[in-house]
Amino acid sequence: MTLLEIKGLTIDIARDSGPARVVDGIDLSVTEGESLGIVGESGCGKSLTMMSLVGLLPNRIRATGGKALFGGRDLLKLSAKELRKVRGSEIGFIFQDPMTSLNPVIRVGDQIAEALVYQKGMTKAAAKAQAVELLALVGIPAPEERANAWPHELSGGMRQRVMIAMGLAGNPKMLIADEPTTALDVTIQAQIVDLVRELKDRLKMSVVWITHDLALIAGLADRIAVLYAGTVVEDAPVEAIFDRPTHPYTRALLGSLPTLAGAAMERLPSIPGTPPEPGRRPPGCPFAPRCGFVQPSCSQSVPKLQAMPGDRRHKVACPVVLEGVA
């Protein structure tokens, strides 16, 4: 069953010179228990899209259109108070930088317990016990002792595990992980990915994993959505993305994937040119200026996501390649 369905989401930044569009009509869906990987270059709107779901957009940035149905309700229409209840309890988050995402003046166990007290109205003692259980769940050794540790006493990998425990504290139906391993060592990255996969199966939740690193989530994601300049350009099951990448941008991304196992990619492989600045997108397909398959028709209209012939689950926003396939 569909858990999250985003339709035609647009996000604008209020600038002095007028609004600049950063997210331009994104369609995405996540079914229950599914894990979706979101890839795309820096600045393409991955984080803003996810933050908009729970009302955490920065000042001056607004979701201006579209819908985000979650369990039947449109998240974009909820009040601030209702959204606060969605955060943590229905949608959990893990962030990029485990070094700075924990409050340095609260012991890690108390940080989790405090959230439980407020999310679920637990008593302090019950919340503490549950915090220790959560620390054990995310594979922290000697969880009772570590619950009394200060954040600066833990290594990066341990802190990211604590962050995951916090993300899971409210028992959410969906966990959004925004580049949670970018700041970690390669070996630890793999451990975190494994942990999240295991937790996803055990807790039967959906996972949305934002990353620059296609290779890293190949083993975790069921489906991958490729974002470019605030639009989804390809959305397909993970095997299809790797076996039959169709959109020129996806192909370019994969074309330069490192073949050496374990080679870490901090950033996506470089493609000549740069993505358009928010508010300065070219008419038509935003990737056209950098595209090797560009046709005169590309600058006429913004391409829509369309299913590939013969595979309904593989969608591409590029009429040029679709015609070539057909």
Partner 1 sequence: MAMIDIEDRPSSLWRDAWRRLRRNRLAVAGLVIIAALVVVAVFGPWLSPYDFLSQNLDLRNQPPSAQHWLGTDDLGRDVMSRLIYGARTAFMVAVGVTVVAVLIGVVLGSIAGFYGGWFDRFVMWFTDITMSVPQLLLVVVINASLKQPISLWMEARYMETLNPIWRNSQIIDFVLVFGAMALITWPPYARLVRAQVLSVRRRPYVTAARAMGLTNRLILTRYVLPNAMGPLIVAVSAGLGTAMVLESAFSFLGVGVTPPTPSWGNMISDGLRVWTNYPHLLAAPAAVLAVVTVAFNFLGDGLNDALNPKGQK
Ligand X SMILES: Nc1ncnc2c1ncn2[C@@H]1O[C@H](COP(=O)(O)OP(=O)(O)OP(=O)(O)O)[C@@H](O)[C@H]1O
Residues 248-277 that bind partner 1 (CB under 8 A): none
Is 47 a binder of Mg ion (CB under 5 A)? yes
Contact indicator for 180, 213 with CB cutoff of 8 Å:
no
Rounded Cα distance, 97 and 163, in Å: 10
Contact indicator for 221, 50 with CB cutoff of 8 Å:
no
Is 89 a binder of partner 1 (CB under 8 A)? yes
Instruction: Tell which one of 3, 22, 154, 207 touches ligand X (CB under 6 A).
Output: 22
Q: Enter the DSSP assignment of 295.
A: -
Of the chain, the end-to-end C-alpha distance in Å amounts to 31
Backbone angles phi, psi at 236, to 5 degrees: -155, 160
Looking at 159-167, 196-204, 207-215, 218-226, which segment touches partner 1 (CB under 8 A)? 159-167
The pattern of x and - marking residues 282 through 311 that bind partner 1 according to CB under 8 A reads ------------------------------
Task: Decide the pairing of beta strands 311-316 and 306-308.
Answer: antiparallel
Rounded least distance, CB 64 to ligand X, Å = 14
Rounded Cα distance, 248 and 288, in Å: 10
Total binding residues toward ligand X, as defined by CB under 6 A: 13
Is 93 a binder of partner 1 (CB under 8 A)? yes
Give the CA diameter of the chain: 67
Q: Enter the DSSP assignment of 326.
A: -
Rounded least distance, CB 97 to partner 1, Å = 5
- State which H helix or E strand residue 323 sits in: helix 319-325
Task: Give the position of tokens 């010179």.
Answer: 17
Is 88 a binder of ligand X (CB under 6 A)? no
Instruction: Tell which one of 276, 278, 286, 303 touches ligand X (CB under 6 A).
Output: 278
Instruction: Tell which one of 11, 108, 127, 166 touches partner 1 (CB under 8 A).
Output: 166
Minimum CB distance to Mg ion smaller for 148 or for 274 = 274
Looking at 37-45, 236-244, 257-265, 299-307, which segment touches ligand X (CB under 6 A)? 37-45
Using left for φ > 0, alpha for ψ between -120 and 50, and beta otherwise, residue 118 falls in: alpha
- State which H helix or E strand residue 311 sits in: strand 311-316
Contact indicator for 253, 224 with CB cutoff of 8 Å:
no
Is 144 a binder of partner 1 (CB under 8 A)? no
Is 152 a binder of partner 1 (CB under 8 A)? yes
Is 52 a binder of Mg ion (CB under 5 A)? no
- What does the binding site for Mg ion look like in residue numbers (CB under 5 A)? 47
Residues in contact with ligand X by the rule CB under 6 A: 13, 22, 40, 42-48, 58, 61, 278
Name the residues that contact partner 1, by CB under 8 A.
54, 56, 84-89, 92-93, 95-97, 99-106, 114-115, 118-119, 145-146, 149-150, 152-155, 163, 166-167, 169-170
